Structure 1
């Protein structure tokens, strides 16, 4: 496998601009209350990420046992900064998704894959009259940004993550994400937490830095 898209698919898929912060420990009630001031949908699922072999520039996962999702990294256009509230590394991605049958059931994780259980709270934002507003759901081809607050469990450890994903016209991705971030961070995170560059990383980067479960020697 290589980091190049499959032949004939290079111009397809969804282009997104994203930023994510990942924190250790359980998600506190105060943080869910902070996020809950926006309309929020709930979702729970398990994703499995391919970690071995490493594929530079690619993130590969089986999403909820129903779809193979391949994301191609297209670099960082810079830093998102909400003064006094948050700093994060922006990442440009191209996402392709293919329906699949579950690759395994009740047999543990295949070698090279890491299961991650996610309980997600998701809010949708879109441009309306030149301003970002929360909405019930996104509209195809319109400038929009999904924001998720997610409880994560992997290899017996609890984490939580706050992520922004902008989609729509390429020339509006950054302005849409930045406007959404300013709206979400118009109130500081509880406890004085300020998401910074140390916590800013994709799931793929984070998982590649986490050791796998220990195994008994035969």
Structure 2
């Protein structure tokens, strides 16, 4: 695999605060309709995650065959809780992305790399003046949060996931996630059980059976 130098400055950090829930089975129409009340963009792609060797604290993947993405885990600042509607483990990450030549072969085959096909619905939220709204931010230093509802398939099995990812000023990341979650979970997710800590995990933790 050939990786080119990133366009951003070497060592420039791209930090995020994230929470994700992953559920078995196919995405229900009622859940898709619940999320569809916000403006969404859609994307279909296949990511390949490095599972062997295990790299504690790191997540490595080939994103859509076009970029090598390395994420470093910086711990959890606590629990996101929307009373009676959702509880999830917040995770702090730092990310680097490098363009790759899609004609290269990467990995070493199963079980080193696990391909995961995704159909993603994405909505963008920004926090300005203390108010959260469903819109993409045009300000680099304005806190924002992307929310994705994604259908996932791998090794013949189907799953779906709901994830929040906040970016912007470090001291406002938690505020952005919490404000976005309050908006998104009102009304609550149309399921018999609320998203809880048992379903709250990163893609890497899920793929490794954590």
Match of residue 85 from structure 1: 85
Match of residue 20 from structure 2: 20
Match of residue 127 from structure 1: 127
RMSD: 1.9
Q: Number of residues paired by the alignment?
A: 201
Query: What TM-score results when the alignment is normalised by the length of structure 2?
Result: 0.91
Match of residue 59 from structure 1: 59
Match of residue 167 from structure 2: 167
Cα distance in 2 for residues equivalent to 1:163 and 1:21: 6
Cα distance in 1 for residues equivalent to 2:90 and 2:187: 21
Cα distance in 2 for residues equivalent to 1:109 and 1:123: 34
Match of residue 177 from structure 2: 177
Contact between 1:39 and 1:123, CA under 8 Å: does it hold in 2? yes
Mean Cα displacement is larger for which, 128-137 or 90-99?
A: 128-137
1:155-207: per-residue Cα shift (whole Å, max 9, x none)? 00000000000000000000010000000001111133300000000000000
Q: Please, which runs of 5 or more residues in structure 1 have no aligned partner?
A: 1-7, 211-218
Match of residue 40 from structure 2: 40
SS in 1 for 2:12: coil
Question: Structure 1 residues 167 and 127, CA, compared in 2 at 3 Å: closer, same or farther?
Answer: same
Cα distance in 2 for residues equivalent to 1:96 and 1:141: 19
Contact between 2:126 and 2:136, CA under 8 Å: does it hold in 1? no
Query: What TM-score results when the alignment is normalised by the length of structure 1?
Result: 0.87
Cα distance in 1 for residues equivalent to 2:120 and 2:209: 22
Match of residue 104 from structure 1: 105
Match of residue 150 from structure 2: 150
**After superposition, where does 1:64-79 map in structure 2 within 5 Å?**
64-79=64-79
